Structure 1
Amino acid sequence: MNSNTSPPELKVVEKRESAVVNERAPASDDAEVEVDGIDEIRRSVESYSAEETKRILRKVDYRLIPLLTLLYLLAFIDRGNIANAKIAGLERDLRLHGSQYNIALTLFFVPYGLFEVPSNVVLKILRPSVWIAIMMLAWGTVTTLMGLVQSYEGLLAARFFLGVAESGFFPAATYLLTIWYKRYEVQQRMAIFYGSASLSGAFSGLLAFAIQKMHGVANLAGWRWIFILEGLLPVLLSLAIWFVLPDSPERAKFLTKTEREFLANRLSIETGSGHGRVTNNDKITLGHVIAAFKEWKIYCAILMFWANTIGVYGFTATVPTVINDLGYTAAQAQLLTIPIYVVATMGILTFAYLSDRYQQRTPFIIAGNTIALLGFAAQLAIPHPRYPGLTYAMLFLVAAGLYSAFTPVLCLIANNLAPSSKRAVGMAILISIGNWGGIAGSNIYRAAEKPRYPTGFGVSLAICGIAIITAFFLRFAFKRVNDQRDRLIAEQGEETIRARYTAKELLDMGDLSPFFRYTL
């Protein structure tokens, strides 16, 4: 279990004469990394059989993945339950009119985007278990208090502070996965974790259907109980997370010393080329922050990220209303959202398995956005509400495509940023600016345009098209750099290139190292 006092940690001191992690001295995050001896480290890692490797990874999986999945499920329910509360009476009781509901949706994303980068900087300074527990306590408290708001202004204040409280969790959780798993292991784990977001739509609809029946209990409306009960869960779990969430392989008390060493060593040689080293033990500096903000590939990936956030946040906030407008009752609309999100989750898991198996990211980004684009095109073409069954069926394409393409985008950038401090900031930038797509998504489905929503479906279709073009461009750009670096090593030789730099200089270069290869 974690505690306020840092436990002894594995010291990763790699020298030319001994590349395996030193077993005689515990280490701290402050340890200097003097590296070389790559061949010895590689032999040490390769001495573990496939069965032993699988056994160790399963220990990590069973401890880390269920926790992150549960937490993200709770976070996504708490940010999206306003859609369920709306059709359960929130809009009527707070006398919302015009674009006020859309403004309340939008306000969440302003602080949510602004605070993600600072949050991941804090994450690198504090332990993840501590920082994530603090965030959980905060967002659960805000969600619970949202059930007590009495006015439109109160709703705005609650949504703003919910955005502040939740801002750091998703970038923290996705970054945490990257320091435990190799590049073609991480997406399957991230898919399970992110799949909880799509399942949250199902759980949220089911929970809202049940909770709104508490209407009148303690003289509170049913929609208020949706916020209160769904907010109390993360509050109650936050203290436990402080103690049970593992921070890093080097600090994992549920692993043996040799297992910790094995995980640290196998990740240190994960460059994609079979040469060179990377590090997850670097201390964050201003240079890492600046390097991340200057990284062009992050800004390209933001366009692909927007395809998801514009589509998903608009979709999740509106789909109960879309179904309701097809002639179904509010209760039926809540239940009919469930199969849509179940299919979306199946798509996420299938894409992740195939993406890791074939060690490709961009083809799956292209495929997912193409499926979503076809779904949006169908929604624009179908005369609403004349064909409710067909309209409802096309919602499955939209959800499956949008959700399935998202984890390949995250993993494409996570795989292609090093060292870990640059990755932490870079992923936060991607998620921060990318989540501002939720501002557009929250406002393009206009009440005046129902039941056809031409603006909402049209804008979502267009950004999916842009994401497809961007994925093709990034694939070409990354392959070009990889080919240049392959030619460099073939012409000059690994030893000649290594002789130009110290081992630490090569580590600090991260993804700019001639030995680093980009994931396509």
Structure 2
Amino acid sequence: MAYSLRGVRHFFWGDSDTPSSRQEKRLLLKIDWITSDLLLFVVCITDLDRSNVSNAYVSGMKEELNMQGNDFNKINTIFTCGYIVGMIPNNLMLQVVSPRIWLPSMQIVWGVLTFCTSAVHDVRQIYAIRFFQGIAEASSFAGTHFILGSWYKPEELGKRSGVFTSSGLVGTLFSGVLQAGVYNFIIDGVITLPIALYGFLMLPDVPATTKAFYLSEEERLLSVERLVSDTTRHSLSWDLARRVLSRWRWYAFSLLFAVSGETESFGSNNLMGQWLKAIGGYTVEQIDNYPSGMAAFAIASTLICATWTDYTQVRWPVLVYMSTSCIISSICILVWGSPIGLKFFAYYLAGASYSGQATTFAWANQACADDTQERGIVLASMNMWNNVVNAWWPLVFYPATDAPKFHKGMIAMMCICIATLGVTWLVWFLERREWRLYGKPGETEKDTDSKNKPQIHSGERENSDLSTQ
């Protein structure tokens, strides 16, 4: 048992044989306990809310609000529009306002709007609420990845991003169970407010500006020194736009998640729940609960893949696994005469679509580590462009009227998986070209000089756009 506990400690916090490593371990313990737990709860609740909308639709909301045609898809699209509008402004605000103030404030706004959702009597009221709720919620996802990338080394970041992503899936996993007996959103709002208040007190901001009372002065200095990333806090200027638009990172990572994020359409549009409701023969509780198997497989895939990428420091194979799994699922569903059991297998296997999310954002955090401002913009833009596509993608390829077969949706899924493989190769190629030109992040100045390459720091890196050789 003692050996097992030592293995767990080493897995998350590394070796502790020297005084410096023991101090680093204590720092990680504190940051994991405070920051990760808080942010995980935030995203778990927001993902629970999204799942509640889908489950409420198949559990009675459609009839209660007299929803017609594609009203359900419109709700999701309007929410997505608000999410898009709020994405980059929210991450820019983290450069101006302390994350300890901004993120919990947006969570309180989100919670109040959630309370309002439980009192609607018309679908148009849901349209308005979900738009503004999308703006508030836009702070949580990219903002959390920004915070994680500010505190953790590359070999620590993957599994933390994986745990963060899985926390949202836990909300999805239990949403069906909750929604089977609760057809409103009061529980989301009740849970949100104390979490936000806890954030005001405990969120440590970023290493360069943290004043967290639970960190000693030595730990604050260590949190900056142990990272190779840019930890300084810069004012906003037009130079930020020049730096972001003159490099490959914004274009390539935005394209990667804009494409690969659509593999999550199986879960985000609750296709399995719509399929079960359309073919008939299942109770409301079964329709709510059976899709939880997809979320369970998604959690397992995410954690295993994220852990593997931390050990190997190779991110791209996870996207290959994700794309291959979704292609297999799509083929099984397209063959409509196949057994019901095979379709259950296909929908559960489709949970692998979530495994690439944590890896993609960890990859972007690592690639942009030398420029804090660029990193914030890239992370927000990745999520923004994915949601730009997602604003119309379900309406075109997964309308509720296409249930239960979703024929064109499955063909679109196979195409998007192939596109994901292509863009993954592009990001891999561009990153390695940058390493050849400027050195790999984390190399010492001596290592870089030995290759006759300049050591480039934040704000000084030469342009490396797609045309540079």
Report the TM-score when normalising by structure 2: 0.87
Aligned residue for 2:340? 388
Aligned residue for 2:306? 352
Preserved CA contact (<8 Å) 1:325 1:450: yes
2-structure distance, mates of 1:304, 1:145: 35
Aligned residue for 1:74? 45
Identify which of 123, 126, 136 aligns with 1:165.
Answer: 136
Secondary structure (helix, strand or coil) at the match of 1:179 reads helix
- Give CA-to-partner distance per residue, 1:57-95, whole Å, 9 cap, x none: 122111111111111001111233111111121111111
Aligned residue for 1:372? 326
Preserved CA contact (<8 Å) 1:201 1:337: no
- Give CA-to-partner distance per residue, 1:2-58, whole Å, 9 cap, x none: xxxxxxxxxxxxxxxxxxxxxxxxxxxxxxxxxxxxxxxxxxxx9754444333212
Identify which of 424, 431, 447 aligns with 1:471.
Answer: 424
Aligned residue for 2:405? 452
1-structure distance, mates of 2:164, 2:447: 43
**Which amino acid is the alignment partner of residue 387 of structure 2?**
N
Identify which of 444, 451, 457 aligns with 1:506.
Answer: 457
Aligned residue for 1:415? 366
**Which amino acid is the alignment partner of residue 464 of structure 1?**
C
1-structure distance, mates of 2:44, 2:434: 38
Change (3 A) 1:392 1:307: farther
Change (3 A) 1:511 1:162: farther
Alignment map for 1:30-41 (pairs within 5 Å)? none
- 1:115 aligns to 2:86 (yes or no): yes
Change (3 A) 1:311 1:476: closer
Q: Which 5+ residue runs of structure 2 have no aligned equivalent?
A: 1-16, 465-469
Identify which of 123, 127, 137 aligns with 1:156.
Answer: 127
1-structure distance, mates of 2:185, 2:131: 15
2-structure distance, mates of 1:284, 1:447: 44
Identify which of 470, 493, 507 aligns with 2:449.
Answer: 493
Alignment map for 1:138-153 (pairs within 5 Å)? 138-153=109-124
- Cα offset, 1:293, TM superposition: 4.1
Preserved CA contact (<8 Å) 2:260 2:420: no
Preserved CA contact (<8 Å) 2:180 2:284: no
1-structure distance, mates of 2:48, 2:461: 37
Between the two proteins, what is the percent identity of the paired residues?
Answer: 23
2-structure distance, mates of 1:251, 1:284: 22
2-structure distance, mates of 1:456, 1:245: 41
**Which amino acid is the alignment partner of residue 328 of structure 1?**
Y
- 1:260 aligns to 2:220 (yes or no): yes
**Which amino acid is the alignment partner of residue 358 of structure 1?**
T
2-structure distance, mates of 1:506, 1:454: 50
2-structure distance, mates of 1:295, 1:485: 13
Preserved CA contact (<8 Å) 2:161 2:359: no
Alignment map for 1:430-441 (pairs within 5 Å)? 430-441=382-393
Matched length = 438
Change (3 A) 1:466 1:495: closer
- Cα offset, 1:305, TM superposition: 1.4
1-structure distance, mates of 2:195, 2:27: 27
Alignment map for 1:127-276 (pairs within 5 Å)? 127-211=98-182, 223=183, 226-249=184-207, 250-267=210-227, 269-270=228-229
2-structure distance, mates of 1:472, 1:435: 22
- Cα offset, 1:506, TM superposition: 3.2
- Cα offset, 1:334, TM superposition: 0.9
- 1:286 aligns to 2:238 (yes or no): yes
1-structure distance, mates of 2:211, 2:365: 22
Q: Which 5+ residue runs of structure 1 have no aligned equivalent?
A: 1-45, 212-222, 271-277, 514-520
2-structure distance, mates of 1:481, 1:70: 37
Preserved CA contact (<8 Å) 1:137 1:234: yes
Change (3 A) 1:140 1:294: farther
Identify which of 283, 290, 303 aligns with 1:329.
Answer: 283
Aligned residue for 1:124? 95
**Which amino acid is the alignment partner of residue 395 of structure 1?**
Y
Secondary structure (helix, strand or coil) at the match of 1:115 reads helix
Secondary structure (helix, strand or coil) at the match of 2:459 reads helix
**Which amino acid is the alignment partner of residue 422 of structure 2?**
I
1-structure distance, mates of 2:64, 2:447: 73
Report the TM-score when normalising by structure 1: 0.78
2-structure distance, mates of 1:92, 1:179: 46
Preserved CA contact (<8 Å) 2:274 2:400: no
Secondary structure (helix, strand or coil) at the match of 1:201 reads helix
- Give CA-to-partner distance per residue, 1:100-151, whole Å, 9 cap, x none: 2211111111121122111111111111111111111111111211111111
2-structure distance, mates of 1:492, 1:303: 30
Change (3 A) 1:480 1:289: closer
2-structure distance, mates of 1:308, 1:323: 26
Change (3 A) 1:486 1:163: closer
Secondary structure (helix, strand or coil) at the match of 2:104 reads helix
Kindly name which structure, 1 or 2, has the bigger radius of gyration based on alpha carbons: 1
Q: Which moved more, 1:165-174 or 1:310-319?
A: 310-319
Preserved CA contact (<8 Å) 2:80 2:391: yes
Change (3 A) 1:496 1:337: closer
Preserved CA contact (<8 Å) 1:303 1:470: yes
2-structure distance, mates of 1:73, 1:492: 42
- Cα offset, 1:512, TM superposition: 6.0
Preserved CA contact (<8 Å) 2:150 2:231: no
Change (3 A) 1:429 1:294: farther
2-structure distance, mates of 1:455, 1:425: 34
State the Cα RMSD in Å: 2.6
2-structure distance, mates of 1:492, 1:178: 24
Aligned residue for 1:306? 258
Secondary structure (helix, strand or coil) at the match of 2:235 reads coil
Secondary structure (helix, strand or coil) at the match of 1:284 reads coil
- Give CA-to-partner distance per residue, 1:183-217, whole Å, 9 cap, x none: 22111111111111222211111111132xxxxxx
Preserved CA contact (<8 Å) 1:306 1:463: no
- Cα offset, 1:280, TM superposition: 3.8
Change (3 A) 1:378 1:497: closer
